[in-house]
Amino acid sequence: MPPDPGFELKPTSTPMPAADRVARMADLGFGRVFTEHMVTIRYRAPDGWGRGLLSPYAPILLDPAASVLHYGQAIFEGFKAYRQPDGGIATFRPAANGQRFNNSAARLAMPALPIERFVEAADLLIRQERDWVPPNVGESLYLRPLMIATEAALGVRPAKEYLFLLFGSPSGSYFTHGVKPLTVWLSKEYSRAAPGGTGEAKCAGNYAASLIAQQQALDAGCQQVVWLDSVHKRFVEEMGGMNLFFVYKDGATSRIVTPKLTGTLLPGITRDSLLTIAEDLGYTSGEGMISIEDWARDVENGTLSEVFACGTAAVITPVGEVRFNGGGWLVNDGQTGPVAQHLRDALLAVQHGTTPDAHHFMHRVL
Contact at 8 Å (CB) between 320 and 264? no
Site string for ligand PLP, 183-222 (x = CB under 6 A): -------------------x--------------------
Tell me the residue type at 74: A
Smallest gap from residue 268 Cβ to ligand PLP (A): 3
Strands 79-83 and 89-92: antiparallel
Contact at 8 Å (CB) between 113 and 105? yes
Smallest gap from residue 2 Cβ to ligand PLP (A): 30
- Cβ proximity to ligand PLP: between 53 and 204 the closer is 204
Contact at 8 Å (CB) between 354 and 362? no
Smallest gap from residue 187 Cβ to ligand PLP (A): 13
Give the start-end residues of each E strand in 204-325. 224-228, 236-239, 242-250, 253-259, 284-288, 304-311, 315-324
| Phi (first) and psi of residue 332, to 5 degrees | 50, 40
Segment near ligand PLP (CB under 6 A); pick from 23-31, 53-61, 115-123, 241-249? 241-249
- Cβ proximity to ligand PLP: between 132 and 142 the closer is 142
- Cβ proximity to ligand PLP: between 143 and 247 the closer is 143
Q: How far apart are CA 41 and CA 5, in angstroms?
A: 10
* CA distances from residue 103 to 108, 200, 201, 209, 266 in whole angstroms, order as listed: 9, 9, 7, 20, 11
Considering only residues 78, 168, 181, 259, which one is a binding residue for ligand PLP as defined by CB under 6 A?
Answer: 78
| Using rule CB under 6 A, residue 80 touches ligand PLP | no
Considering only residues 169, 214, 243, 285, which one is a binding residue for ligand PLP as defined by CB under 6 A?
Answer: 243
Q: How far apart are CA 129 and CA 140, in angstroms?
A: 12
The per-residue b/e assignment along 298-335, b for 16 or more CB within 10 angstroms, e otherwise, is: bbeeeebbbbbbbbbbbbbbbbbbbbbeeebeebbeee
Contact at 8 Å (CB) between 8 and 39? no
- Cβ proximity to ligand PLP: between 179 and 269 the closer is 269
Contact at 8 Å (CB) between 221 and 259? no
Segment near ligand PLP (CB under 6 A); pick from 101-109, 128-136, 182-190, 261-269? 261-269
- Cβ proximity to ligand PLP: between 97 and 150 the closer is 97
- Cβ proximity to ligand PLP: between 78 and 353 the closer is 78
Considering only residues 241, 259, 320, 337, which one is a binding residue for ligand PLP as defined by CB under 6 A?
Answer: 241
Segment near ligand PLP (CB under 6 A); pick from 8-16, 262-270, 326-334, 348-356? 262-270
Scanning residues 267 to 326, which ones bind ligand PLP (CB under 6 A)? 268-271, 311-312
Contacts with ligand PLP: how many residues (CB under 6 A)?
A: 13
In the complex, which residues of this chain contact ligand PLP (CB under 6 A)?
78, 202, 238, 241-243, 266, 268-271, 311-312
